[in-house]
Amino acid sequence: QFTKTYLLQHPLEKVYTYWISSNTLVPPVIKIEIEPWVGGIYRLNLIGNAVMEGKFFQVSNNKALSYSWQWVGDEEITQVDVQFHVHESGTEVQIKHGEFLTEQSLHQHAQGWDNYIKGFRAFLKSK
């Protein structure tokens, strides 16, 4: 597993609201469905027909999220834990992602989060 911490220069409520919004499209995502409650779904449709699906285990508004993460057609099911903290410069987001079957998968997902946060920053800036 890995843990990554990112600082986003936006208020916590804004970061959290867009994190769980079905309207937050950060390339390569082309469609997203989010039901932000325990047992609700998290589904990302990406360019090239890749689909990631998950279910929420924990939803603590403006504080924390926990959900499963599985690429459709792949046997690997991982878990994502996200914590949101107020920071003097905005919001600190800590992502813990684990239960990978291979080191390669771990590294790909770690890089994927870096790319996502870069796009999420640009998305937030446009709002």
Contacts of 121 (CB under 8 A, 6+ apart): 8
Tell me what pLDDT residue 47 has: 94
Chain centre distance of CA 113 = 8
Tell me what pLDDT residue 76 has: 98
**Average pLDDT of adjacent 10-residue blocks, the chain of 127 residues:** 98 98 95 97 95 98 98 97 98 98 98 97 96
Tell me what pLDDT residue 5 has: 98
Does residue 11 have a cis bond before it (omega within 30 degrees)? no
- Rounded CA-CA distance 83/117 in Å is 14
Tell me what pLDDT residue 22 has: 96
- What is the widest separation between alpha-carbon atoms in the chain? 42
* Beta carbons within 10 angstroms of residue 95's beta carbon: 19
Tell me what pLDDT residue 120 has: 98
Tell me what pLDDT residue 96 has: 98
122 — alpha (psi -120 to 50), left (phi > 0) or beta? alpha
> Which residues on neighbouring strands pair with residue 54, listed in sequence order?
42
39 — alpha (psi -120 to 50), left (phi > 0) or beta? left
